[in-house]
Structure 1
Amino acid sequence: MASAPAKAPPPRTGVTFAAELTFEGIHLHYGPVHTLKGISLTVRAGEILCLLGPSGSGKTSLLRVAAGLERQTAGRVLMNGREVAGPSVFEPPEKRSVGLMFQDFALFPHMTVAQNVRFGLTDMAARIAAGEAQLAIDRVGLGHHVNSYPDVLSGGEQQRVALARALAPRPSVMLMDEPFSGLDTRLKDSVRAETLAILREMRATTIVVTHDAEEAMRLGDRIALLDRGRIVQAGTADEIYHDPANLFVAGFFSELNTFDARVEGNGVETPLGRFDAGRHAPGSELTVAIRTAGLDVAAHGGGMPPPGTVPGRITARRFLGVSEQLLIAIQGADKPVSARIRADELARDARDVTISVRNGDILLFESGRESA
């Protein structure tokens, strides 16, 4: 019996001419509210940069400045070194070769998929526009929905239509505002992976706004973390995770236990043990942050705990699938410490335990300061 023919790969997305995007000293005011406070950042040509931060940190405002939907109060925006927004220059969005993808997808309900995707191709002849739209629709796997209306599509399919519409003009810069936030957890991983593959293929410079640190680490070549209108730290996921600039950054990427301590000799004493103070001088007031995933927990049958461990008692535990969260009371701590362990690591009836800390998950920050 003959085998079924191999499934044809999706058509390749047209490669764009990626642009370097630079923000120089960007300030933005909404009336008396100072939303962006001197942001300077360069996104390299072909790079995927994630703007990460809590609600109200300025992520979407910076994206809108890049798109030309907002005019900054001060500073400049440059594409490949050419000023597109500054004190005496302001190019509108249609002149900047940017693709926009919004959180709510912003599809026109009275237009078919094909009409939605063709909408931004007004500078092309009708036949060429139809061809470019069809190519983008096929690339996101929606060729069978070309004549469908948005209301019959799932959330994941609507997301792909919005992506096709943004890709069709082959922009030099793609701007995406929380593009996956409307998808359920089951869909999110697959749609995110498909989108990343398409962005890599088209090679456009891309900025993705997200409030999810794990999503930023999955997507971005680099991450810029914002807080209250300023960039707190920018770098690769590995750089930021292992060398956070301050406690805010560390807490954004990890669940932490924190303790106040004073450097005595060359170390700091905490309820979880004594740790090396590193470069911090004797007498310095520190916040000692320990990642919850950096605690090793073992059942304890009584007697003296093994060297390098402290005893504790489990007060609560929560099964989370592949992992489990424990709350453990220990001597000298004002509240239980939190530990995240593998779900099969500790017997269900374990109550008395010992805890040890992995050195790589201990972070020291000077109290009351924003630098590590």
Structure 2
Amino acid sequence: MKNGHAQTASRVTAGVTFAARLAFENICHAFGPDSETLRDVTLAAEPGEVLCLLGPSGSGKTTLLRIAAGIESQSTGRVLLNDREIAGPSVFLPPEKRSIGLVFQDFALFPHLTILENVRFGLTALSSEEGRREAMIALARVGLEDYAASYPHVLSGGEQQRVALARALAPRPAVLLMDEPFSGLDSRLKDSVRAETLSILRESRATAIVVTHDAEEAMRMGDRIALLKDGRLVQSGRAEELYLRPANLFAAGFFSELNVFQARVKDKMLDTPVGRIASPGFAEGAETTVAVRLTGFDVSETAGEFEARIVARRFLGVVELLELAVSGTDEPVRARVRCGALSTKARDIWLSLRKSDVLLFETRRESA
């Protein structure tokens, strides 16, 4: 069986139309009076940028993508392509007039059509010969021109994903939308197909918006990430910004597994089960949520800042996942540590806290 990257070396490069800026202005959407799916979302994908829409199921990611494509209509707000309104109070361009390509989650290939016919399907404005030529260029771009006469069922999942990408790129769209494009792939293939897809997007120079619920995937793919929750935009920016300076506990928890404690500021310090922590910028007496990443502990069998007892440990290859009993909390403290850092017989150990892996939030705002 062919794998998803068998013909990468044979890919050719070819550009698309000039990349466009796609902007959402104050987008609201509801399926009924009590089912708001998007709430005043303002966001833009810049020309040539890969923007990842990230969030849990039901956060509004796919709905926003469908509004951009023209499959769904917003309740209020506007969609603009290079500052030209394509969907708003007085304008609604149909999908075929938007210069926007769409790659569906399940690839949506026609089983009764050859690979070439699948890719040529959307090129209705061209003559048969011109359509065939453009389709072959798109297939060559993804390294699958040798499979033009084959049918989808003979291709691997990774190859089918690349055919879907070729079909979306064939009309040379200014913006490409991708809805969970790698969710159907074998986990062993995801890394290579993601890397190939990103390379193709760079070469084609199209602006791209990619929907995902996987934070690592968003960090691998996106120039910027927009994090949504319950139809609202929580935070947007580069991966480093969202990881290092999350706007709230939800954002922090989406990018890292966390231990969470509550503490009150006293003398500019917070007393927690994992040590005393400075609280710059927090008022005296403020209730504070302390979030500590699982990677935020150094472990030792001889010395450290505080003691812990290993309750459970799980070997995960490069790291071990520890559950620890720590004085001051009934909940186990979890830690990810490098394999080999502790002997197999270790039970009572010492922990030291890495302050760079501690995040502080005002509790009142978190519960609002």
What range describes the TM-score normalised by the shorter chain of this pair? over 0.9
Deviations 1:106-133 (A, max 9, x none): 0101101000000011111111111111
TM-score (ref. length: structure 1): 0.95
Give the whole-Å Cα distance in 2 for the aligned partners of 1:140 and 1:225: 29
Q: CA deviation at 1:9?
A: 4.8
Q: Does 1:268 align with 2:273?
A: no
Q: CA deviation at 1:370?
A: 4.0
1:230 corresponds to: 232
Question: Which of residues 340, 345, 358 is equivalent to 2:341?
Answer: 345
Specify every segment of 5 or more residues in structure 2 that has no aligned partner in the other structure, as ranges. Answer: 1-7
2:125 corresponds to: 123
2:4 corresponds to: none
Deviations 1:89-145 (A, max 9, x none): 000110000110010000101101000000011111111111111111122121221
SS class of match (2:364): coil
More moved, 131-140 vs 93-102: 131-140
Question: Which of residues 42, 45, 49 is equivalent to 1:43?
Answer: 45
1:21 corresponds to: 22
Q: CA deviation at 1:41?
A: 0.7
One-letter amino acid matched to 2:215 = A
Question: Which of residues 325, 328, 339 is equivalent to 1:329?
Answer: 325
2:32 corresponds to: 31
Q: CA deviation at 1:344?
A: 2.6
Residues 312 and 352, structure 1, Cα contact 8 Å, conserved in 2: yes
One-letter amino acid matched to 2:12 = P
One-letter amino acid matched to 2:313 = R
Deviations 1:187-243 (A, max 9, x none): 000000000000011111100000000000000000000000000000000011110
1:76 corresponds to: 78
What does 1:64-213 align with in structure 2 at a 5 Å threshold? 64-213=66-215
Taking only the aligned residue pairs, the percentage that are identical comes to: 63
Residues 246 and 371, structure 1, Cα contact 8 Å, conserved in 2: no
Residues 27 and 38, structure 1, Cα contact 8 Å, conserved in 2: yes
What does 1:264-303 align with in structure 2 at a 5 Å threshold? 264-300=266-302
Deviations 1:48-84 (A, max 9, x none): 0000000000000000000010110000000000000
Residues 13 and 198, structure 1, Cα contact 8 Å, conserved in 2: no
Give the whole-Å Cα distance in 2 for the aligned partners of 1:197 and 1:80: 24
Residues 52 and 209, structure 1, Cα contact 8 Å, conserved in 2: yes
More moved, 327-336 vs 55-64: 327-336
2:350 corresponds to: 354
More moved, 136-145 vs 208-217: 136-145
Specify every segment of 5 or more residues in structure 1 that has no aligned partner in the other structure, as ranges. Answer: 1-6
Residues 112 and 147, structure 1, Cα contact 8 Å, conserved in 2: yes
Q: CA deviation at 1:345?
A: 2.1
Q: Does 1:365 align with 2:366?
A: no
Cα 1:213–1:89 change in 2 (3 A) is same
Residues 45 and 205, structure 1, Cα contact 8 Å, conserved in 2: yes
One-letter amino acid matched to 1:10 = R
Question: Which of residues 239, 242, 250 is equivalent to 2:241?
Answer: 239
Give the whole-Å Cα distance in 2 for the aligned partners of 1:113 and 1:368: 56
Give the whole-Å Cα distance in 1 for the aligned partners of 2:340 and 2:71: 51
Equivalenced residues, count: 360
Residues 365 and 371, structure 1, Cα contact 8 Å, conserved in 2: no
Cα 1:63–1:201 change in 2 (3 A) is same
Report the RMSD for the aligned CA atoms in angstroms: 1.4
More moved, 128-137 vs 208-217: 128-137
Residues 63 and 175, structure 1, Cα contact 8 Å, conserved in 2: yes
1:4 corresponds to: none
Q: Does 1:315 align with 2:311?
A: yes
Give the whole-Å Cα distance in 2 for the aligned partners of 1:8 and 1:247: 44
One-letter amino acid matched to 1:353 = I
SS class of match (1:26): strand
Give the whole-Å Cα distance in 2 for the aligned partners of 1:8 and 1:26: 42
